[in-house]
Structure 1
Amino acid sequence: MTNQAVGGAPGRSLGEVDPARFYGRQRELKALRADIERTGLDTLTGRKAPRARVLLIAGKPGSGRTALAGELVAALADRYPDGVFRARLTEPGGDPVPTARAAQDLLAALGVAQPPGAAEEELAALVRGAFEGRRALLLLDDAVDAEQVDPLIPDNPDTLVVGVARGPLTGIPDVRPCTLGGLDPKSAIELLTAYTGSVRVTVDPQAAESLAEECGGMPAALVLAGGWLAARPQASLADLTKRLRARTGDPVGRAFALVHESLPQPAARILRHLSLAPLGRVDAHTASALAGCSVSAAATTLADFAALGLVRETAARTGGCDGQSDGQYEVPAHLVPLLRAELEERDRPAEVQLARARMLERTVRLLQSSRAVTEPEGSPARRRLAGLPRALRFPNAATAAAWLDSRRPVLLAAARLAVADGEFDTLARRLIAALVRALTAHRGAEAAAPDLYGLHRLVLDVAERRGLHRERAAALLNLADLDAGTGRTHDALLRYRSALDAGREANDPYATGRAMESVGGSYQELGDWQRAGDWYGRALAQRLARDERADQARLYGRLGAVHTYAGRYGEALRNWRAAAAGYRRLADLPGYARALSEAARVQEYAGRPEECLRTCEEAVDWARRAGDVRLQAALQLRLADTLDRLGDPAAARLHRAAADRLLGSEASAYEIRSASIED
């Protein structure tokens, strides 16, 4: 149906209407430009403005406020060479976006690393700091109140903030809102003409004026009216005006009701279900799952909806810059409440839940496919991938990564909505697991950590709601690991203790052992050697009881480390020797060599240089047998240091030369250390 609208009559193709064209608002644009240069209160008092200037565009949804902001930003972009950055502060359904989430999106666009699990204040401070020294534009769209906007305003007068809201943002000083009404009659008729063509307007200009007036000059209503007319070349403007007058409500609501009722029942049902899409963003796969139709049919229907002004094709944005279309459409925010009202009235709850479940299941399968394509050829994951329908397969890892990157906000929103629903906990857990694996596979654990933190918290919410102790323990361990990695050791310690309790309730030996070892690691990080050694000992006792030899060797090493820190060299040496014996039984030659090296370090600290020399020579020999060149070079340097202290500089020079031959200039930058030892 590329040249035939959903309504069934031939109409103007979407290609004939430029959705990026801007109509009218020249007076408002001029006033906003003048406001940039307006003398502020700080300048009047002789002080330099401490923060960015804020321009505010206020108006009802559907008044074209976001389009005006976009036009202003595009016109000013050349004056701000460090880029244009955007954040939406209200979700399509009307829920405010938490400041922390908006800050995370801005930091990602700015290319600034963010600590996973950081508090809202810290993230907002990072955003403000990232704009220091930049001459940039920041567009904050659809703000609810000043409390949302104020934390994100940069402390940099060279940056300009353009805010969009329903009304004034009381609480932000020195801001005069540019309040929007309807378009002027000339611009309103131009917008209609873009959909209907000039003939119908020319033959009945009075009817065009009446229609524009009936639409209140609201761009959203005019677009819907234009789309309806474009699908019906035989309909007159006067006929549409009469139909609109027969309805009650605001102009956008009346125009939407008319368009919705004119759609065939299957298309109207698909349209209503688009309100279920996370963030109002939908592509052919999402529409296909919601409607229960093929992907190609869904793609055609979305294109038809775009021709009617019911959805807008989006452009990929990377680093604040607009890109090419990526196959996604956006349901205009002002239509989402109207669609949801129709959905509640016309569709049975069971059908709505089934559509949600299909959408989530399709998302899970796409995520699994995006991860599987990163696996080697012939792997089990690639074999499973080959069995999927062609529409669900990605041709290569680069395509899958691009899909994941462009859909990342939508995928995260889907996970949040699935958990909040409460009816899809099993499906929500599968979705989160698939999303975690896909993000880790394509972006790496470190780069994906901020997103993973939020996902693990969602898992924790489901586990606590359902009493799933094993999943609760796993989520707490993952969150605690991220806390520990960002220096929040006390927070990590509390979570590790909670994970231990959950692991015991689940009778999960892996979780309890891991939690005990991590509690010990937290105390070690805090410098409490006594408690660290105690918890490592508890973890070791469990590993000994279960005969988990690799874990035993590691824990002996961790005990050796904390005893070394505490100055208990005898205990430290015994534990490092036990670790070495464990690695040797496992035939882990590099581990054996490292354990011997740490034992030599303890002997050196204990004032036994001759024993240290012999142990270090043995470690060098085992590193050579293991074929670990870097380890061997590091041990040669350790040996050289020991010989210097024993008064044999000639032998020390020989060992340093041997290390240089092994690694060249890199040898001097490498030093062996245990996981927890510092000189």
Structure 2
Amino acid sequence: MTDQAVDTSGPVEAPGAEEPSGAAPPRFLGRERELKALRADVGHAGLDTLAGRRAARARVLLIAGRPGSGRTALADELVRTLLAEGGHPDGPFRVRLTEPGGTPVPTERTARELLDRFGVTGPPGADGDELAGMVRDELAGRRAVLVLDDAVDAEQVDPLLPDNPDCLVVATSGGPLTGIPGVRPCTIGGLEAGPAVRLLARLIGEVRITVDPRTAETLAEECGGLPAALVLVGGWLAAHPMASVADATRRLRESADTTEPSAGPRPLARAFRLVHDALPPVSARILRLLALAPAGLVDAHTASALAGCSVSAAQRTLDDFVSLGLLHGDGAGRPQYEVPGCLAPLLRELLAERDRPAEIQLARARMLERTVRLLQSCRAVTEPEGSPVRRRLAGLPRSLRFPGPEAAAAWLRARRPALLAAARAAVEDGELDTLARRLVSALVRALAVHEGTESAAPELYGLHGLVLAVAERRGLAREQAAALLNLADLDAGNGRTREALARYRAALDAGRAAKDLYATGRAMESVAGAYAELGDFQRASDWYGRALAHRLGQGERAEEARLYGRLGAVHTYAGRYGEALRNWRAAAAGYRRLGDVPGQARALSEVARVQEYAGRPQESLRTCQEAVEWARRAEDVRLQAALELRLADTLDRLGDPAAAGLHRGVADRLLNQKGVTYEIRSAPTEK
């Protein structure tokens, strides 16, 4: 696990108490020998250099150590030193490779997070190999430091290694990364006695160390020299000013025989139990429930929902945890905290030991329900004043309301990693599927309204995949059809037409199973569009015909007219001009019956286009003149100008350049009047 929050630089301050940007970083204690070796390894000649060849990839430095040993802090100090020397001006770029639960993060998510840091959006639905390739391309021209924190194995690291020897990769792990050539390992253990005692002095003051320096050294030995354990014990001593260093040492020794081996190193587990058992029962319960925090990220609302207490009480408790070294503060957006990675397995172990499964499930349900309500509020605040949604929003407690759209968007940005993790965890859990579906739905709507569907497409793709997983598990055909359609639309929009076609056909089956007429018709039409995109116009016309028959049976006249137009377009691309004319005329007649003047004008313009392609210029001229009149009635200046240009081209072919010039002049005046342009095609678009 990562141990960024409990490093050798001492406890992290609560939000609002951080040093201002630009202030000198806290002094790093110890590790002089390791830092010297790592800095020497940066410039160490590799095998390629010794052989007279330029290195093909970035140098990889590995810092290996147990959770809580300060490996992340050492990586941070190394990077800070390198940046101060100016050797790698581009960066650093940091990403975590393990979730708080110990699950390796998939390459797809890791690469997408790095691309976000580069300001690049990866295609929705792209796999890990494609996205990792984009990461390597972005790093090809940079002199950057890439920090890969808490790697489980070489398979996580290798796809992200830059093909650029000017870059440097610093990885942290619990063991060796076998399989990566040329990796330079640095294995660390506990701090030496001197730095360990100085860390304790920083936490509790020099006086309590000075009065009993020998016992302070003994206490550091009891903590195994682990910075994380020292921070916890130091936090306990700071919270108990009447206790001595000897008291802490005695308590740790007494727990040596009662603390069973746990998910973390034994000294860290003993220090954690010492702090936990000294907490008031309510605070101790809140601490254990933080094991349920998605992605290890928690704010006051999350803690409040988990424990069933007020938001203000939860906020005070979280601030207390920061001072005890149990949480890492994060000032992004609203106050947010992170559970140190080395403590996450200890929290989960203690939660399973002390709390009943029913209580844990209830806490998880409360957290999801609170998250859903916050997301609904986040979206509702963007609605106009006085709307029904805003009136409902006014009835929510003040703590669940945002002062404005900007504050809601900032909260959504800050909490997005936790929200996405909450959605994934809820779906994987499988016990709260109704809440999981509501959470995903609320998150999709909030992202769409604040970031836009296109910008949020990568996240939306993953969320629709979660909806599909729940729908398949629960046998919900209607939701399954909707999720498949959404995923297929994103596939189609990113050039994965064949994958989209497969999903559209699966959505059609699900829509029929659910007897969902809308999903069935939509899927038929989308299947046709996919075939048209692939250039299979015969199948496209067949499926558009099926979709049209479906709409005819429902009496949906507007959709009928639109589908006649789609059929006309497909027949035009296929060169079947007779069929194209019949369908475009049917579309024009449908729009006329609906009283849709713009639609009628556009359908007639397409009739004229097909007549021109079919070599019938006189008919095209008459139809185009009729379409111009309807475009004028519709006040569609762009279409009117385009048709005037088409008339000019047709008159040129008929040998009347004077009349053609008049129509071009009309088109120029229309375009200059509105400052618009319109593209006129003289042949069918090649597919």
- Asked if these proteins are the same fold (TM beyond 0.5), I'd say yes
Q: Which residue of 2 aligns with 1:235?
A: 243
Q: Which residue of 1 aligns with 2:277?
A: 261
Segments of 5+ residues of structure 1 without an aligned counterpart are: 1-10, 317-324
Q: Which residue of 2 aligns with 1:5?
A: none
**Superposed displacement of residue 673, structure 1:** 7.7
Query: Could you tell me how far apart the structure 2 residues matched to 1:137 and 1:203 are?
Result: 44
Which of 46, 51, 54 is equivalent to 1:48? 54
Partner-residue secondary structure (3-state), 1:83: strand
Instruction: Confirm or deny: 8 A CA contact 1:561 1:677 kept in the other structure.
Output: no
Instruction: Confirm or deny: 8 A CA contact 2:505 2:527 kept in the other structure.
Output: yes
Alignment of 1:296-375 (within 5 A): 296-316=312-332, 326-375=334-383
Which of 281, 284, 294 is equivalent to 2:300? 284
Query: Could you tell me how far apart the structure 2 residues matched to 1:443 and 1:678 are?
Result: 35
**Superposed displacement of residue 613, structure 1:** 1.6
Instruction: Confirm or deny: 8 A CA contact 1:631 1:672 kept in the other structure.
Output: no
Instruction: Confirm or deny: 8 A CA contact 1:137 1:160 kept in the other structure.
Output: yes
Query: Could you tell me how far apart the structure 2 residues matched to 1:656 and 1:212 are?
Result: 89
Q: Which is worse superposed, 643-652 or 159-168? A: 643-652
Provide closer, same or farther for how the CA distance between residues 198 and 17 of structure 1 changes in structure 2, counting only shifts above 3 A: farther
Instruction: Confirm or deny: 8 A CA contact 2:154 2:179 kept in the other structure.
Output: yes
Instruction: Confirm or deny: 8 A CA contact 2:528 2:542 kept in the other structure.
Output: yes
**Superposed displacement of residue 678, structure 1:** 5.6
Instruction: Confirm or deny: 8 A CA contact 2:12 2:322 kept in the other structure.
Output: no
Partner-residue secondary structure (3-state), 2:170: strand
Superimposed CA distance per residue, residues 132-155 of structure 1 (whole angstroms, 9 cap, x where no aligned partner): 211222111000000000001111
Q: Which residue of 1 aligns with 2:64?
A: 58
Provide closer, same or farther for how the CA distance between residues 673 and 314 of structure 1 changes in structure 2, counting only shifts above 3 A: farther
Instruction: Confirm or deny: 8 A CA contact 2:638 2:677 kept in the other structure.
Output: no
Q: Which residue of 1 aligns with 2:404?
A: 396
Query: Could you tell me how far apart the structure 2 residues matched to 1:644 and 1:449 are?
Result: 47
Superimposed CA distance per residue, residues 444-475 of structure 1 (whole angstroms, 9 cap, x where no aligned partner): 11111111111111111100100000001111
Instruction: Confirm or deny: 8 A CA contact 1:660 1:667 kept in the other structure.
Output: no
Partner-residue secondary structure (3-state), 2:456: helix
2:633 maps to 1:617: no
Instruction: Confirm or deny: 8 A CA contact 2:12 2:325 kept in the other structure.
Output: no
Q: Which residue of 2 aligns with 1:649?
A: 657
Segments of 5+ residues of structure 2 without an aligned counterpart are: 1-10, 20-24
Amino acid at match of 2:283: A
Provide closer, same or farther for how the CA distance between residues 606 and 516 of structure 1 changes in structure 2, counting only shifts above 3 A: same
Provide closer, same or farther for how the CA distance between residues 338 and 673 of structure 1 changes in structure 2, counting only shifts above 3 A: farther
Q: Which is worse superposed, 427-436 or 664-673? A: 664-673
Alignment of 1:555-570 (within 5 A): 555-570=563-578
Q: Which is worse superposed, 634-643 or 450-459? A: 634-643
Amino acid at match of 1:287: A
Which of 107, 110, 116 is equivalent to 2:115? 107
Query: Could you tell me how far apart the structure 1 residues matched to 2:652 and 2:686 are?
Result: 20
Q: Which residue of 1 aligns with 2:189?
A: 181
Query: Could you tell me how far apart the structure 2 residues matched to 1:569 and 1:474 are?
Result: 36
Query: Could you tell me how far apart the structure 2 residues matched to 1:673 and 1:444 are?
Result: 32
Query: Could you tell me how far apart the structure 1 residues matched to 2:12 and 2:457 are?
Result: 47
**Superposed displacement of residue 12, structure 1:** 13
Superimposed CA distance per residue, residues 26-72 of structure 1 (whole angstroms, 9 cap, x where no aligned partner): 22222111111111111111111111111111111100111111222
Which of 212, 224, 228 is equivalent to 2:232? 224
Provide closer, same or farther for how the CA distance between residues 341 and 530 of structure 1 changes in structure 2, counting only shifts above 3 A: same
Superimposed CA distance per residue, residues 250-290 of structure 1 (whole angstroms, 9 cap, x where no aligned partner): 11000001111111110000000001001100001111111
Query: Could you tell me how far apart the structure 1 residues matched to 2:382 and 2:680 are?
Result: 33
Percent sequence identity is: 73
Amino acid at match of 1:657: G
Provide closer, same or farther for how the CA distance between residues 573 and 29 of structure 1 changes in structure 2, counting only shifts above 3 A: same
Provide closer, same or farther for how the CA distance between residues 138 and 653 of structure 1 changes in structure 2, counting only shifts above 3 A: farther
Q: Which is worse superposed, 455-464 or 75-84? A: 75-84
Provide closer, same or farther for how the CA distance between residues 585 and 431 of structure 1 changes in structure 2, counting only shifts above 3 A: same
Q: Which residue of 1 aligns with 2:105?
A: 97
Which of 568, 588, 605 is equivalent to 2:613? 605
Instruction: Confirm or deny: 8 A CA contact 2:66 2:174 kept in the other structure.
Output: yes
Q: Which residue of 2 aligns with 1:534?
A: 542
**Superposed displacement of residue 666, structure 1:** 8.7
Instruction: Confirm or deny: 8 A CA contact 1:17 1:195 kept in the other structure.
Output: no
CA RMSD of superposed structures (Å): 2.1
Query: Could you tell me how far apart the structure 2 residues matched to 1:388 and 1:631 are?
Result: 49
Alignment of 1:400-415 (within 5 A): 400-415=408-423
Q: Which is worse superposed, 636-645 or 173-182? A: 636-645
Q: Which residue of 2 aligns with 1:383?
A: 391
Q: Which residue of 2 aligns with 1:83?
A: 91
Q: Which residue of 2 aligns with 1:670?
A: 678
Superimposed CA distance per residue, residues 114-141 of structure 1 (whole angstroms, 9 cap, x where no aligned partner): 1111111111111111112112221110
Query: Could you tell me how far apart the structure 2 residues matched to 1:13 and 1:615 are?
Result: 76
Amino acid at match of 1:183: L
Query: Could you tell me how far apart the structure 1 residues matched to 2:17 and 2:462 are?
Result: 43
Which of 171, 190, 193 is equivalent to 2:201? 193
Which of 29, 32, 38 is equivalent to 1:26? 32
Partner-residue secondary structure (3-state), 1:400: helix
Amino acid at match of 2:160: L
Partner-residue secondary structure (3-state), 2:335: strand
Provide closer, same or farther for how the CA distance between residues 16 and 201 of structure 1 changes in structure 2, counting only shifts above 3 A: farther
Amino acid at match of 2:314: A
Partner-residue secondary structure (3-state), 2:564: helix
Q: Which is worse superposed, 239-248 or 56-65? A: 239-248
Instruction: Confirm or deny: 8 A CA contact 1:12 1:230 kept in the other structure.
Output: no
Q: Which is worse superposed, 282-291 or 652-661? A: 652-661
Amino acid at match of 1:407: R
Partner-residue secondary structure (3-state), 1:164: strand
2:471 maps to 1:463: yes
**Superposed displacement of residue 592, structure 1:** 1.6
TM-score, structure 2 normalization: 0.93
Q: Which residue of 2 aligns with 1:525?
A: 533
Amino acid at match of 1:473: A
Which of 294, 299, 311 is equivalent to 1:295? 311
